[in-house]
Amino acid sequence: MATLHRKRVLVTGASSGIGAATARRLAREGADVALLARNRRGLQEVARRVEQEGAQAVVVPADVADREAVERAVQRSADALGGLDVVVVAAAAGAFGRFAEIPPDDFDRCVRVSFGGAVDTIRAVLPHLERSSGRLVVIGSAGDSISLSLLSPYVAAKSALDAFLESLRAELRAAGSDVSVSVVRPGAVDSPFWRHLTHPGELTPPQIPPLTSYTPDAVARAAVACAANPRSGITVGGSTLLLQAVNAVARPITEVAFAAMARVGRRRSTPDPAPDALWEPSGDGSVDGGLRGRPSAYAALRRRLPL
């Protein structure tokens, strides 16, 4: 599967950000793409871009927090494409604020979407991938190994997802399965995710400095590389990798640094008129978040390595 020409791919979280960027990048590689997210209008815009690349696009609106809806959407995708060779799990949601400030329902919803929705998607697609000896590519987060504050439900969900995928990979290997499992771990990404965060007091996080954020296309390229030539994972961003290493050997220092950043972040937060995207469809087809993210040289090098 070094070439993705005419491969049948499902992308979740496809109505904006990393999912939308990945769908178009897959189409450029010749794959036909089923697009799953809540917002039909956003999916139709991404479908138009996929078709501009000469690929087939299938729109399957569904909320990944609804298990039955996900199962139906996966089956519709497989029926429309004639099966599934690759699945990219990119759907996620976040809530911003101190743990004590985040309403319990918002916390639970974030975990349900970012962890439970991913698990339900994987459960639904595995039989199709077993038939095609396919590839599973999951967009994780560098936050699963860094002491991030003000994003506790998102970090908890991504940490749980990473542990789940390690266990799943071991089970598939023990069963002699040909399905591969890859995880793409980006740091901060210039995507609409930051605009879509639910937050107490109608506040949203301050803008991330451009030098610390990466483009959605950098993450999409890593996901496509894993789909074409499986490997256990790719971290997007040399600065992300460095931060992970520092956190591993000097966690007290990074905890102090992130605590200071949290205090600054709360002071610089501003009123946000955006809808409550944790509960309502928000993806409108936009890819970036206006933060001027940069490409990842490290991820580009990593994509060229066989393992």
Q: Which residues are identified as catalytic? A: 154
Give the Cα separation of 157 and 154 in Å (integer): 5
User: Which amino acid is residue 36, in one-letter code?
Assistant: L
Q: How many CB atoms lie within 10 A of CB 84?
A: 24
Q: Please return the burial class of 231, using the count of CB atoms within 10 Å of its CB with bins 0-12, 13-18 and 19+.
A: middle
Q: Which two tokens mark 139?
A: 């967009």
Helix, strand, or coil here: 139? strand
Q: Which two tokens mark 224?
A: 């496509």
Helices (H), the chain: 17-28, 40-52, 67-81, 104-111, 117-132, 152-174, 216-228, 238-249, 251-268, 297-303
Q: Which two tokens mark 198?
A: 């639910």
Question: Is 105:200 a contact under the CB 8 Å cutoff?
Answer: no
